[in-house]
Amino acid sequence: MTNSSVVVFFIGEALLLRGDVEDKSFCGDAVSATVEGFGQLQIMVNNAAEQHAQDSVTDIAEEQLFRTFRSNFNGYFFMVQAGRPHLSRGASIICTTSVTAYRRPDLLIDYASTKGAIVSFVRAPYSALAAEGIRVKGVAPGPI
């Protein structure tokens, strides 16, 4: 279980929800609490991740691979899935990916793979959601 928090802001107010974005039911509860507390969902920013440097693909244990995907990708998917019914024209979905999705990742093989999956995830529903006036964007920062 990843120790995650969801912070929701609405014009000078904040709602802090503790839970695990790997858990689909928590994502649904977080979206419900947001809509209940603020009456709407206009911007969704997905920005949860973990990374583990490894020298070789053969050094990545199965559990590490699954955990990295659960943390870095599944949470984004579950949040968008839960939030989609509450998003209307003018809303935005923003997902943090990484420059490692586009450049040689060297030691971050599983991390870069999850960030590449997020790039595809951002692109996949783009046309359908754009037709409804909902923006879907990926942000790919470099090393920080």
| Sign of the C-alpha dihedral computed for residues 137, 41, 86 and 31 taken in this order | positive
CATH code of the domain occupying 42-139:
3.40.50.720
What is the per-residue pLDDT for 10? Answer: 64
> Catalytic site residue 126?
no
Count CB neighbours of 12 within 10 A: 5
54-88 pLDDT, tens digit per residue, is 999 999 999 999 999 999 999 999 999 999 999 99
Ranges of residues in the chain whose predicted pLDDT is under 50: none
Instruction: List Cβ neighbours of 34 (8 Å cut-off, separation of 6 or more).
Output: 8, 15, 41
Domain assignments of the chain as residue spans, ordered by start: 42-139
Mean pLDDT of the chain: 89
Q: Which of 76, 102, 111, 126 is catalytic?
A: 111
Are 112 and 68 in contact, with CB atoms under 8 Å apart? no
What is the per-residue pLDDT for 1? Answer: 52
Task: Give the global pTM.
Answer: 0.86
